[in-house]
Amino acid sequence: MRGKSVRSKAIRKLDAVFSKYIRRRDCGYGYAPCISCGKPITYDTSDCGHYENRQHMATRYDEKNCNAQCIECNRFRGGNSEGYRLGLIEKYGESEVEKIEMRRYNLSKLSVPEIEMLYKHYKGKLTNLENTLKQAQSVEDYRG
């Protein structure tokens, strides 16, 4: 039982940093369109929406499968999968969407060390992205 709780904790920790990274990647420090409905969203008013459900571990941390999505589409409209698919096709092309759809069937169970490695990877990507965005904002403020 202890092993499962350690793994669950590690997944929750990874989910949190991965969600922050995806939302910051898509929204920066401004606005972005919801992948499913196009409504303007910000980092704080978005979720990390999954096209293929989070239960599929093979696509759970796939950056193309995960995009900033408005809370309404993600939580109250069942992910708005029809709109999500159209948004993905526009963003990545239909062949990439089909690859995501096929990958969900892959069996995948991450070990705790693999989860911890992914956490470090996305923590680093988030830090680098935030630093880059802040630097760009400083330059923009200076020019402004």
Instruction: List the one residue out of 10, 21, 26, 9 whose CA is nearest residue 123.
Output: 21
Confidence of residue 19 (pLDDT cuts 50, 70, 90): very high
* pLDDT for 70: 98
pLDDT at 16 over 60: yes
> For residue 139, is pLDDT > 80?
no
Model pLDDT, residue 2: 56
Q: How far is Cα 84 from Cα 141, in angstroms, rounded to an integer?
A: 34
Half-sphere exposure of 4 (CA within 13 A, CB side): 1
- Per-residue pLDDT reduced to its tens digit, 81-133: 999 999 999 999 999 999 999 999 998 889 999 999 999 999 999 999 999 99
Give the pLDDT confidence score for residue 136 in this predicted structure.
86
Q: What is the DSSP string of the chain?
A: -HHHHHHHHHHHHHHHHHHHHHHHHHHTTS-EE-TTT--EE-GGGEEEEESS-TT-HHHHT-TTTEEEEEHIIIIISTT-HHHHHHHHHHHH-HHHHHHHHHHTTS-----HHHHHHHHHHHHHHHHHHHHHHHHHHHHHHHH-
* Nearest Cα to Cα of residue 91 among 111, 66, 113: 66
pLDDT at res. 108:
84
- Position 62 scores a pLDDT of 97
Flag whether pLDDT at 142 surpasses 70: no
Percent of the chain having pLDDT more than 70? 93
Token duo for residue 32: 């972005």
Query: Is the entire prediction scored with pTM above 0.95?
Result: no
d(Cα 144, Cα 76) in Å, to the nearest integer?
Answer: 40
